[in-house]
A and B are shown apart, each in its own frame.
Chain A
Amino acid sequence: MDPVSTAQAVNEVQTLVTHIDGYVYPNEQNLLWSVLIVVYPYITGLVAGAFIMASLVRVFSVQALAPAYRLALLTALAFLLCAPLPLLLHLGHPERCLEVIVTPHVSSPMAMFGFVYAWYIMAVLLLELWLEYRRDFVVWGQRERGFKGLLYRLLTLGATDVSPGALHLDERLSQTITIIGIPSAFLLHGYVGFIFGSIKANPWWGNVLMPIIFIFSAIVSGMALCVVVYMALNWVRRRAADDACLDKMGMFLFFALLVDFSVEALDWIHRLYQAEESIHVLKQLAAGKLFYSLLVGQLCLGTLAPLFLLGATQLLRERIAMWLRRRIYFISAVLIMVGVLMMRWNVVIGGQLFSKSLRGFTTFKLEPAGQEGWLMGLALMILPFVILGVLVRYFLPILPVTAAAGEPASAEK
């Protein structure tokens, strides 16, 4: 081909490629990780956060949070059951999923996820739930008939001793498991940050603070989820939420958000001061392609607004009526959840929008349909709530149960 035609062809190609801005390498034009990889760390983060919220009751003896304890654990379970789904859908070939367990590759953090997940669900969450519910399973199994009765009797695993000594042992075991559970929850979510933080070729990701940022944002989002779910459940059941519990949740949410905000701010300050060669493209990314999701969504709506609102409830608690505080908690929690979702988006999508040449950007357009469409992401976010609805129906009855021995037991501990 003569030089003129070659130049013509190059011009044609360049004018056809409208989604490129500046220079990007050919394999950076299209994003490989899409909305499913955004949803995945979001869901695992919600699990870890909800568990941390529950462990405040068990390990740190924050009794004001007791009304939300079981709900927080069930929320963690509902979301944990859905946590691998985005990965399965993204990778395709779900029939091969067991290979990661059958032929484990210990030097790959991604491959180790199967074991981290199995450990967390089997050795921590289900175990803690079982010990927490064992006494109730025995009582409900004796009282209920049909499928429900059979389910509860099966779930006792035949351990029907509910003497004070046995219950005391349950309590002690449960406490030990929660103590193991906290580092496990950190491991479950920290590893997502670890994977991103290990990618040293990408300055947006390769950062030692990444696991810490992920863990704190996870704690914040999970606590916010607990607030939303607790208030929504009480609203659906036409029952008044426990105000002391809400105030306590609001307090922990505020302080967790404050720490999360500080760590992320520290990350930015450090990046700006360090001013590595990538800082120009990162600044352009933040102020350009990610303007709405980072500065508006994550920073203003998802962090500063709830910090202001929750901060007001902490500083002016006596002056703000309870009905207004309830609304503030709910709105803040929803804003935080949206903000953390935006944070996941900014990390996952943002890290793929700029070129490793640090000289250009590509564009990502989210399609509604398809395996990687936003409808799929939405379905994955709705599914845990459906599962939670079923779990609540079976394991969080409205009426207080009465123990076989005659001692009263609250349905929502």
Chain B
Amino acid sequence: MTPLKLPPQILRLVLLTVTILGSYGVMRHMLRPASFGEYGHYRGAALEEIAARPPTYAGMKACNECHSDIVQKVAKFEHKTVACEACHGPGREHAKDPDVKNAKLNDRLCLRCHEVDEARPAWLKQIAEKSHFRGDRCVDCHVPHQPKETP
């Protein structure tokens, strides 16, 4: 019986196809997360992986330990429900070592909540940045800790 002899171009194409499919198999084996598909179309260990990440926020209690005067002042005004780190950023490192400063505040931070958007509740003060004020910074006219006061 003569062995099956493929024409050279078909042989090359078969080899190439096998190589591509094989590479896909290897790639899939290597890149597919171990817990994928355990319960459904997601990583079964997703929650554990997230929980294992180091926390970056300190929490308001930690802020209150050193900055109780400011925390108490804020508690009397509109921003009382806004957590310190919502504006000042994650402060765990700063809480551990006060010499480590938090990230500098962004001048456009206020717009994150106060830029006009119909999806926001109507009681929330909203402005259209372009028509409201074209100055440098919101804090030139507003005090974030006591929004009703002027600087």
Contacts and interface: CB of A to CB of B under 8 A. Distances in A.
Partners in one complex: yes
Q: Tell me which of A1, A9, A127, A161 has the highest count of chain B C-beta atoms within 10 A of its own C-beta.
A: A9
A159 interface: yes
A161 B8 CA distance: 7
B27 interface: yes
Contacts of B125: 9
A159 B12 contact: yes
B146 interface: no
A248 interface: no
A382 interface: no
B118 A13 contact: yes
Interface stretch (A54-62, A98-106, A370-378): A98-106
A127 B32 contact: no
Interface residues on A, range: 20 to 34
A408 interface: no
A146 interface: no
Contacts of A160: 8
Contacts of B120: 13
A254 B37 CA distance: 51
A105 B41 contact: yes
Interface string A1-38: 10000100110110011001000101101000000000
B127 interface: yes
Contact of A13 (B8, B20, B24, B122): B122
Nearest to A126: B16
A70 interface: no
Contact of A158 (B12, B37, B41): B12
23 contacts: A1-B123, A6-B122, A9-B122, A13-B122, A16-B127, A17-B118, A29-B119, A99-B31, A101-B24, A102-B28, A103-B41, A122-B20, A127-B13, A134-B9, A159-B8, A159-B12, A160-B8, A161-B7, A161-B8, A166-B7, A169-B9, A170-B9, A173-B9
Interface of B: 7-13, 16, 20, 24, 27-28, 31-33, 36-37, 41, 116-120, 122-123, 125-128, 131
Interface of A: 1, 6, 9-10, 12-13, 16-17, 20, 24, 26-27, 29, 98-99, 101-103, 105, 122, 127, 131, 134, 157-161, 166, 169-170, 173
Q: Which 6 A-B pairs have the closest CB atoms?
A: A26-B119, A159-B9, A157-B12, A159-B8, A16-B116, A9-B122
Given A101-B24, A161-B8, 7 more contacts: A16-B128, A99-B31, A102-B27, A103-B32, A103-B33, A103-B37, A134-B9
